[in-house]
């Protein structure tokens, strides 16, 4: 138990969480910041929580890429990777880009394809099929690419692909990745990865697109050395921002600047693929980190999950409005299909996990025919529902392909990589918070038992429902558009930098209606004339939805994050409701 205080006496909310308010030191720090900077108290609360002191406040609120961008050459192999890339460009060599099938891989590929196009060069895009080929390079694809190309650049993959890279005979290979590296690296021209074991970890928070961007920064520096002007990299930050948020990279350090600047670039609506997808997703406001993570990201990912793997990368790279419109429509349809498939797998996986038990260090489920494209999303849902690391596996032909999601403070990727190195798994690797694996079906039970033991050593079985940390209390009349905009100035918010959460205490619910299958729309107020609308996503995945829908006139404490909702040119504040407790 830490020294934080239980907020409003809520030890077990409707979702089973303890509410924790700011401790005395945080309150004093925010008050001191307010006195020294004259910034709004709500902003000072966020800054104090991040450990920002008064002299740093101005720079924190306006993160500058110029100040925060690391020297690309601080990463091993960077200089030689950029030099080999430029040699291929100068000599008109044949270049192939081998990309992962998610948003980070698609954005990484698009960065290279757009940069090369602006330099008058064309590259081959290759994205492996999730079902037929699985994650990362494979022997056959790499051999075929090597036979027709001089240089292969693997983005968001490749660090553990010793065999497939060895199969690329006759071509040089560059790896630009961020996944956890092994004890040895593949034998290739360069491996640029902040998560290599011989790196210091200072840039471990970068996604693959950020690594690619740094390589292009280094390429630009080398071009300037021979008095050649390269493409405008600042105009490509929308792709880096999209990948950073969608890959759930922590929004700290340079990642904050990437996302802040990238959102400004995106608002100019110059990239036809992102514009087309924004329009089909009915985004009618300036883009925010939320839109990247929950509206654009899932649609781009849908191609790799249940459709053609390269659709997302092609959309992000295209400069043809007609192609962009067609690709966006296809991805939107695939995303709808993905949701239907996900819902079916999720119901089965949750029932199986509950039967097996959810109090241990690992929650897992496996099923024949479960689509490999949705097991990662379902694992995330199991993790959220149980507060435990979760693994979900689809079985086909005696082989299981699965994906796992972890909780804060538990390194799932390292455990899975260890089992892979020991031969318990056929393949496995990833990050602390997310990982993939392949296992023989007849070894599944043993593999999950061994994974459970490794996670127990990290204390994963000792965790209960996560505490909900709250920044303070608000009255409906105080929740203005101006206050919300001031709080947003301390963003962007996301992984590693959670948005401030506020409680509206002792509220009366005026209406509560279901939206779709699992969401809830609520209108509430304090009984003195002020009302606020709230949206609770996934409310009916827990007891939250039924309790609020059938409130029966009871009063509730409502907790969540403030949003600005724009409709027909009018802006209002909306609460993104995350939890509630009976008043």
Q: Are residues 449 and 476 in the same domain?
A: no
Q: Are residues 232 and 321 in the same domain?
A: yes
pLDDT digits (tens, 9 = 90+) for 466-519: 788 899 899 999 999 999 999 999 999 988 888 999 999 999 999 999 998 889
Mean pLDDT computed over 159-176: 97
pLDDT digits (tens, 9 = 90+) for 261-273: 999 999 999 999 9
61 belongs to a structural domain: no
Q: Are residues 272 and 399 in the same domain?
A: no
Peptide bond into 13 cis (omega under 30): no
| Structural domain span for residue 458 | 357-462
Q: Are residues 328 and 437 in the same domain?
A: no
CB pairs under 8 A, 24+ apart, for 227-232? Answer: 230/115, 230/119, 231/114, 231/115, 231/118, 231/119
Cβ atoms 18, 481 nearer than 8 A: no
How much is the mean pLDDT over the chain? 93
Cβ atoms 317, 271 nearer than 8 A: no
pLDDT digits (tens, 9 = 90+) for 63-105: 999 999 999 999 999 999 999 999 999 999 999 999 999 999 9
Q: Tokens at residue 185, please? A: 């690296």
Rounded to 5 degrees, what are φ and ψ at 95? -115, 135
Higher local confidence (pLDDT), 15 or 149: 149
Is the pLDDT confidence value at 7 over 60? yes
Beta bridge partners of 558: 504, 580
Mean pLDDT computed over 175-194: 96
Mean pLDDT computed over 349-366: 94
pLDDT digits (tens, 9 = 90+) for 367-405: 999 998 899 999 999 998 888 999 999 999 999 999 999
10 belongs to a structural domain: no
User: What's the pLDDT at 480?
Assistant: 93
pLDDT digits (tens, 9 = 90+) for 404-426: 999 888 999 999 999 999 999 99
Q: How far apart are CA 28 and CA 33, in angstroms?
A: 9
| Residue whose token pair is 């491996």 | 191
Cβ atoms < 10 Å from Cβ of 120: 8
Cβ atoms 309, 265 nearer than 8 A: no
* H/E segment holding residue 574: strand 570-582
CATH number assigned to the domain comprising residue 548: 2.40.50.460
CATH number assigned to the domain comprising residue 280: 3.90.1640.30
Q: Which of 444, 462, 480 is the last residue of a domain?
A: 462
Nearest to 363 by CA among 427, 454, 448: 448
Q: What is the dihedral of CA 298, 304, 310, 316, to 10 degrees?
A: 10
Q: Which of 297, 332, 367 is the last residue of a domain?
A: 332
CATH number assigned to the domain comprising residue 402: 3.10.310.30
Q: Are residues 158 and 141 in the same domain?
A: yes
Q: Are residues 474 and 448 in the same domain?
A: no
Is the pLDDT confidence value at 1 over 50? no
User: What's the pLDDT at 23?
Assistant: 86
Q: Are residues 452 and 478 in the same domain?
A: no
What SS3 class is residue 85? helix
Of 193-202, 273-282, 459-468, 545-554, the range with the lowest mean pLDDT is 459-468
User: What's the pLDDT at 4?
Assistant: 56
Mean pLDDT computed over 131-159: 95
For the chain, what percent of residues have pLDDT higher than 70? 98
Report pTM: 0.89
Cβ atoms 116, 417 nearer than 8 A: no
Total number of domains in the chain: 3
Is the pLDDT confidence value at 2 over 50? no
Nearest to 363 by CA among 407, 422, 409, 401: 407
């Amino acid at each position: 138990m830490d020294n934080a205080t239980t907020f409003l006496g809520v030890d077990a909310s409707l979702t089973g969480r303890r509410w924790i308010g700011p401790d005395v030191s945080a309150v004093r720090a925010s008050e001191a910041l307010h006195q020294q900077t004259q910034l709004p108290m709500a902003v000072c609360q966020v800054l104090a929580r991040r450990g920002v002191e008064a002299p740093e406040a101005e720079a924190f609120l306006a993160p500058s890429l110029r100040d925060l961008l690391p020297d690309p050459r601080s990463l091993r192999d960077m200089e030689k990777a950029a030099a080999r890339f430029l040699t291929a460009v100068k000599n008109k060599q044949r270049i192939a880009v081998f990309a992962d099938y998610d948003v980070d891989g698609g954005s990484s590929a698009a960065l290279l394809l757009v940069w090369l196009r602006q330099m008058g060069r064309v590259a081959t895009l290759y994205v492996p099929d999730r079902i037929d080929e699985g994650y990362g390079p494979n022997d056959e694809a790499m051999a075929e690419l090597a036979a027709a190309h001089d240089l292969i650049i693997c983005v968001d993959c490749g660090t553990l692909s010793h065999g497939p890279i060895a199969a690329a005979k006759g071509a040089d290979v560059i790896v630009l990745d961020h996944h956890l590296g092994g004890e040895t690296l593949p034998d290739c021209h360069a491996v640029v990865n902040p998560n290599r074991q011989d790196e210091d970890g200072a840039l471990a928070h970068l996604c693959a697109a950020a690594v690619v961007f740094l390589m292009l920064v280094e390429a630009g520096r080398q071009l300037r050395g021979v008095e050649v002007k390269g493409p405008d990299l600042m105009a490509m930050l929308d792709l880096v921002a999209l990948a950073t948020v969608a890959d759930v990279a922590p929004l700290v350090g340079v990642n904050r600047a990437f996302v802040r600047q990238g959102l400004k670039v995106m608002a100019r609506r110059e990239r036809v693929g992102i514009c087309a997808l924004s329009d089909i997703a009915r985004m009618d406001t300036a883009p925010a980190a939320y839109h990247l993570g929950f509206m654009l990201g899932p649609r781009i990912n849908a191609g790799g999950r249940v459709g053609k793997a390269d659709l997302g990368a092609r959309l992000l790279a295209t400069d043809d409005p007609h192609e962009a419109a067609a690709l966006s429509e296809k991805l939107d349809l695939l995303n709808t299909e993905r949701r239907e498939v996900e819902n079916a797998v999720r119901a089965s996986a949750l029932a199986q996990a509950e039967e097996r038990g959810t109090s241990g260090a690992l929650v897992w489920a496996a099923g024949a025919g479960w689509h490999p494209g949705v097991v990662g999303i379902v694992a995330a849902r199991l993790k959220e529902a149980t507060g435990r690391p979760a693994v979900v596996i689809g079985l086909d032909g005696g082989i299981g392909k699965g994906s796992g999601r972890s909780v804060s403070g538990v390194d799932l990727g390292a455990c899975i990589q260890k089992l892979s190195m020991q031969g318990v798994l056929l393949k496995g690797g990833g990050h602390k918070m997310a990982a993939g694996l392949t296992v023989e079906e007849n070894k599944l039970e043993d593999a999950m038992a061994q994974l459970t033991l490794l996670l127990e050593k990290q204390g994963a079985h000792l965790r209960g429902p996560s505490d909900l940390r709250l920044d303070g209390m608000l009255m409906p009349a105080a929740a203005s558009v101006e206050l919300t905009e001031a709080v947003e100035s301390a963003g962007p918010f996301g992984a590693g930098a959670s948005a401030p959460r506020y409680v509206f205490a002792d509220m009366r619910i005026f209406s509560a209606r279901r939206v779709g299958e699992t969401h809830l729309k609520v209108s509430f107020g304090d009984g003195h004339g002020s009302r606020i609308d709230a949206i609770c996503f996934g409310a009916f995945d827990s007891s939250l939805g039924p309790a609020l829908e059938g409130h029966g006139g009871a009063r509730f404490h409502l907790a969540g994050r403030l949003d600005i909702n724009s409709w027909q040119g009018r802006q209002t504040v909306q609460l993104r409701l995350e939890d509630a407790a009976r008043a």
